[in-house]
Amino acid sequence: MRLARWLAWPALAAAIIQWGAFVALMAVLSFMPRVAPEPTAPGEVLILLAGVGLVVSVPALVGWAAVRAANGRPGGRAVLWTFGPLGVALSGTMAYLAWYLMTDIGQTENPELMLIVLILASSMLYILPLIISAVLWMLTPARAYLAWHRPDDREALGRGLLTAAVALLAVALLAALITAVLMTFAPRELAETGDADRLASALTYATIVAGVVSVMDILLLGGTVLTRLTGRWILRTLVYGTGMVLVLALMPAITVIGLGVGAVGDESGDDVALTYAWTGITLFSLGAILHLIAMLLVAMPSVSSLVATDGSPDDAEPRPY
């Protein structure tokens, strides 16, 4: 556990440095005449910085979860595993944007260059230790370490969290199904210069993606229900593993659906079609967020207390699940 602790603190420090440098870079660019030729209202900049700062704080949250896990908090591991991919993706995105600014836009001044270097360096110091830390918590000694720090009398809470996860997955499934229907029946009237083939293919791909996600959500929903009823650790492992694979696939899925929305905007001048498309991608994105929260609930320590006894409260010996 020493290695996990040594890795967690540098990852947290790097995430905080990257967060501050990125927000500062956004603030500098917002007030620079050569980047934003039109005067920017301070209120708008503050709202933008608040929104950006909230989103890019996820890597720091994941880093703090890694520290909590190293200190014997099983909930920290749940947050680390569930939000870790999102934290790594956001850290990499910030580094990419900084690199793009430095190489493609050019003309960076000294303050900007210093912030860009901080963003790039802190991203490297964050991603690698965090990935190693997450892998370490998959090892049997690490799981046993957290099992002994886990309360063993929270089976009822574990069942309650699984019930909440079932409800969230049901809503996410409904959102994906509605998205598939909207993309299927969206009006396909073309503008004067519209491309019928591009519009049809983009909406077809969006429909297929939403349909595949719907099928996966049905399987996850059934697996979560069975986990709640039986308390079997193998079912919980399958549900969480499959669910996290789907989490990784949701971002490309949102991108494909976004391309469908873009095709509707470019090739069709119909307001009804745009309403269908934007409603679909909004619902699908909300469903993705609910799916992520459901996976966090499945990974919580109280659920581990439930499956550690295989649903039998008479077996009180902690197991590394």
Q: What is the DSSP string of 189-226?
A: ---TT--HHHHHHHHHHHHHHHHHHHHHHHHHHHHHHH
Q: Is 186 left (phi over 0), alpha (psi -120 to 50) or beta?
A: beta
pLDDT digits (tens, 9 = 90+) for 94-110: 999 888 877 765 555 67
How much is the pLDDT for 149?
67
How much is the pLDDT for 38?
56
- pLDDT tops 50 at residue 316: no
Q: How far apart are CA 214 and CA 209, in angstroms?
A: 9
CB-based contact 63:126 (threshold 8 Å): yes
How much is the pLDDT for 313?
44
Greatest Cα pair distance in the chain: 72
Greater model confidence, 5 or 88: 88
Residue 300 three-state SS? coil
Greater model confidence, 285 or 47: 285
CB-based contact 304:230 (threshold 8 Å): no
How much is the pLDDT for 193?
65
Greater model confidence, 186 or 15: 15
